[in-house]
Amino acid sequence: MPFWRSIDARVSRSEQRIQNADGSSFEVTVMRPEGREEPAPAVLYYHGGAFAFGCTSMHLESCERYALEANCCVIVVDFRLGPANPFPCGFDDCYRTLDWVRENAAELGIDVARIAVMGDSSGGAIAAGVSQKALDNGVTLCAQVLIYPVLDSDCRSPSANQFSDTPIWNAGSNRGMWKMYLRDVDAANPPAYASPGHRDDLTGLAAAYVETAEFDPLRDEAMDYADRLEEHGVEVHRNPTKGTIHVYEISSDNPETIRSMTERVTYLRKRFGP
């Protein structure tokens, strides 16, 4: 992520390299608002990009805003990408980051009781999967923030089939993404955590923020996941944006973008508490 430079001097930034048990490694960027007292709450951010493309300046600028306005640390994970490293490589990097943050919480100045995971699009799939694995491993998260998330590898929903010609993301690109990410795995029977919408029991998962775009193949699977979370007793905050397409906040001055950025920050602040 060396192409990016902070747009606000009130946020400090450092890069850290994390080692995996198999000898591979990856980088994370740690953002922290200047003057924030320790220990601070933290967001682990998993960027979108169809599991194939790296972090963009849009992601990083948004994360800088989350750090400032939610008054928290943000750890942006530069995980391995699907074309060369299909599932579970990138997912494992993202879960390893959670372990790394918990192991190094004192040095990082992070409160382990106030860690949230957050992701957009394919990063939303990773955030939801990390939430599920954290639950299975007895790790408590304070929130999962899912922004127009990818959740269903066999693309069963009406919107996943209806929106065949929408800009930026459509039914065909959605199916192609899953084929690349899962390779020869049966999309209807994916491995655990790869396609979070396939999990039956959602009881005990972290409270969730679920944002959807109106004209997006991913809309219905996200709405269904929110319904199922609630049915299993999970607190859900919904943000169904109107007149929007996938990655609609690429237009930063769009009224829905402005409203949703505020809503995301407000939700984080609520989950982090005083």
Residue 3 lies in a domain: no
pLDDT at position 257 over 50: yes
Catalytic: 216? yes
pLDDT of residue 8: 72
CATH code, 49: 3.40.50.1820
| Cα(41)–Cα(98) distance, integer angstroms | 13
Taking residues 141-161, what's their average pLDDT?
A: 97
pLDDT band of residue 184 (cuts 50, 70, 90) is confident
- Containing structural domain, residue 153: 11-272
pLDDT at position 242 over 80: yes
| Cα(255)–Cα(258) distance, integer angstroms | 5
| Packed helices 255-272 and 57-69: angle between N→C axes, nearest 10 degrees | 50
| Cα(109)–Cα(38) distance, integer angstroms | 5
Catalytic: 246? yes
Give the helix, strand, coil percentages of the chain, each rounded to 5: 35, 20, 40
pLDDT at position 248 over 70: yes
Q: From the candidates 92, 93, 152, 216, which is the catalytic residue?
A: 216
pLDDT band of residue 229 (cuts 50, 70, 90) is very high
Residue 61 lies in a domain: yes
Residue 1 lies in a domain: no
Give buried/exposed letters for 88-105 (b at 16+ CB in 10 A, else e).
bbbbbbbbbbbebbeeeb
Domain count, the chain: 1
Residue 4 lies in a domain: no
Burial class (CB in 10 A: 0-12, 13-18, 19+), 255: exposed
Residue 185 lies in a domain: yes
Q: What is the pLDDT of residues 50-104, one digit of tens each?
A: 999 999 999 999 999 999 999 999 999 999 999 999 999 999 999 999 999 999 9
Residue 251 lies in a domain: yes
- Strand partners of residue 120: 147
pLDDT of residue 6: 53
Q: From the candidates 121, 131, 159, 260, which is the catalytic residue?
A: 121
What is the residue-averaged pLDDT of the chain? 95
Instruction: Give DSSP secondary structure letters for 122-175.
Output: HHHHHHHHHHHHHHHTT---SEEEEES----TT--SHHHHH-SS-SS--HHHHH
Residue 5 lies in a domain: no
Q: What is the pLDDT of residues 91-139, one digit of tens each?
A: 999 999 999 999 999 999 999 999 999 999 999 999 999 999 999 999 9
Residue 28 lies in a domain: yes
* SS3 state of residue 89: helix
pLDDT of residue 3: 40
Taking residues 200-223, what's their average pLDDT?
A: 98
Question: Looking at the chain, how many residues does it have?
Answer: 274
pLDDT band of residue 1 (cuts 50, 70, 90) is very low
- CA dist 157 → 16, 125, 162, 217 (Å): 39, 16, 9, 8
Quick check: 127 and 190 in contact, CB under 8 A?
no
What residue spans of the chain are helical by DSSP H? 57-69, 89-103, 105-108, 122-136, 158-162, 171-182, 219-231, 255-272
pLDDT of residue 7: 61
pLDDT of residue 2: 39
- Evaluate the CA torsion angle 198, 200, 205, 208 in order and state its sign: positive
Does pTM surpass 0.75?
A: yes
